[in-house]
Amino acid sequence: MNKTLLLGAALAAALAASPALAANSAFGCKHLEDNPTLPSVEGRDGFFFRIFADLRMQHPFTEDTVAQMGKLAEALKAHGTTMLYVPIPTKSVTLPTFLPDEAKLFGFDEDVAVAVYEDQVARLNAKGVIAVDLLSALRTTNGGDPPFFRSDFHWTSRGAETAAQTIGGMIKQLPEYADVTPVPYETKATGAELAVSGMRRTLQAYCVLSLPPVISTSYETVEVASADASLDIFGDSGGEAEGTTNDEIALVGTSFSDALVPNFSGFLAQYASLPVANMAITGGNQFGAITSYLTSREFQADRPKFLVWENPIYNNLAQFGTGSLTELIAAARNDCQPVGNTPAIDKAKGLYEADLTGTPIAPNQVLLADAGDNGSRDVVLNFESTDGRTFTREVHRGDRFRGTGRFFIPLESLDSLELKKVSIQFDRLSEEKAAISLCNT
């Protein structure tokens, strides 16, 4: 019997059992697994788990992905930035004793889930990537002060602090830390705060009784030397010279880092004793924040000493092929040379045309299309070869990206051609600053 049939049988068994499961719900919940937006299951002691994210066993992580992550870490390191990659384990593998019995019907296997997480961390470390193991730190059977909310998939302030303590401890053990000037921070509780939860709101429609509120102790982190000044999450470095590094941590990631209530960036500043520039984007998934940051002019001008990249394990780094990581590698290396003879620019139409005659493209090179305008989010490139063939490449930055106007576009299959010209359509551009370059990866 193949995997598809086995999965179908498991789902059928789980669905057949749903009436009995509903009768055992502590909140009168029914048909949670049928929710078209967020199919879920109710666990023990008021914990709820998403079927497709928390209970999923398959988290693709190919050798190509591992190799690209190694190249990214190396490219950043060459310019003075040490990257720490932080895969966040699923809620289910962190709190396995609170899973319902039917979790197995949906394919969840605790031993496999642990092995998959540990395998990713080990393979990255073997490739020279500093990957942080949060599973060992977060995993618990204590429901009194859990690392994750009961009715939401995010971590609580307890989970955020535990994660930050683990990461901060690793940073302090790195040789590069000897070159920085530590800054003491302290964190104080400011009371309990109710967080907005889309997951709880979605699940509540299927339940009679009110689900556990998404409430957690809120905190404020301040520098000890000036306790009346809040932590500068934007990491103002004071305008250092272009191409320098500063003694701070740049934090990129998802809502786990961006959410205010858990205070993850504040705890990270405290336990690493360094200022944190929080560049995380809620809803940006695996690449929204880091792509926005690494392609920015600010990053090129003033790189951080440490880059912490937080990403839940269920966010597949190869979801969009190799192009996303290739762009990050090119941006990190910044080994680019201007190309294009006598460009023609039509600002009204957002059109940039350049002659590429006699411009060879080496394997693994990318084209940096720079609109010269941070507001540019969309670009379409039309290449024409000397034999009359045309090839199109395009990039569209969604609302969950910060605009930088800089696009590093892979040129697979074009390196074997003699190109005649390229026509680039930006949604907006600067006539004075728009330019194109070839970059090495």
CA dihedral 138, 311, 293, 261 (to 10 degrees): -50
Establish if 188 belongs to a structural domain: yes
Residue 280 near residue 310 (C-beta atoms within 8 A):
yes
CATH number of the domain encompassing residue 367: 2.60.120.1380
The predicted structure's pLDDT at residue 243:
54
Establish if 343 belongs to a structural domain: yes
Establish if 282 belongs to a structural domain: yes
Residue with tokens 């879920």: 40
The predicted structure's pLDDT at residue 3:
39
| Pair 342, 364 in one domain | yes
Phi, psi of 9 (to 5 degrees): -65, -40
Tell me the two tokens of residue 293.
Answer: 């940051």
Residue 265 near residue 257 (C-beta atoms within 8 A):
yes
Establish if 391 belongs to a structural domain: yes
| Pair 257, 140 in one domain | yes
| Pair 244, 378 in one domain | no
Residue 214 near residue 197 (C-beta atoms within 8 A):
yes
Establish if 23 belongs to a structural domain: no
| Pair 176, 315 in one domain | yes
Which domain, by its residues, includes 224? 63-333
Residue type, 253: G
Domains in the chain, number:
2
Tell me the two tokens of residue 150.
Answer: 């009961």
Establish if 2 belongs to a structural domain: no
| Pair 378, 295 in one domain | no
- Taking the C-alpha atoms of residue 145 and residue 157, their distance in angstroms, rounded to an integer, is 9
Establish if 16 belongs to a structural domain: no
| Pair 212, 267 in one domain | yes
- Taking the C-alpha atoms of residue 376 and residue 364, their distance in angstroms, rounded to an integer, is 25
Residue 243 near residue 237 (C-beta atoms within 8 A):
no
| Pair 359, 293 in one domain | no
Per-residue pLDDT of the chain (441 residues; tens, 9 = 90+): 443 343 444 444 444 444 444 568 999 999 999 999 999 999 999 999 999 999 999 899 999 999 999 999 999 999 999 999 999 999 999 999 999 999 999 999 999 999 999 999 999 999 999 999 999 999 999 999 999 999 999 999 999 999 999 999 999 999 999 999 999 999 999 999 999 899 999 999 999 999 999 999 999 999 997 544 444 544 444 444 445 567 899 999 999 999 999 999 999 999 999 999 999 999 999 999 999 999 999 999 999 999 999 999 999 999 998 999 999 999 999 999 998 777 899 888 899 999 999 888 888 899 999 999 999 999 999 999 999 999 999 999 999 999 999 999 999 888 888 999 999 999 999 999 999 999 999
Last residue of some domain: 278, 302, 333? 333
| Pair 173, 267 in one domain | yes
Count the neighbouring beta carbons within 10 Å of the beta carbon of residue 283: 11
Residue 252 near residue 293 (C-beta atoms within 8 A):
yes
Residue type, 268: L
Tell me the two tokens of residue 138.
Answer: 């977060």
Establish if 46 belongs to a structural domain: no
Q: Count Cβ atoms within 10 A of the Cβ of residue 239 and give its class: 0-12 exposed, 13-18 middle, 19 or more buried.
A: exposed
| Pair 349, 323 in one domain | no
| Pair 233, 299 in one domain | yes
| Pair 175, 203 in one domain | yes
Last residue of some domain: 333, 355, 384? 333
- Taking the C-alpha atoms of residue 307 and residue 73, their distance in angstroms, rounded to an integer, is 10
Concatenated DSSP letters of 61-90 = --HHHHHHHHHHHHHHHHTT-EEEEEEEPP
Last residue of some domain: 302, 333, 364? 333
The predicted structure's pLDDT at residue 226:
55
According to DSSP, residue 140 is labeled -
| Pair 279, 359 in one domain | no
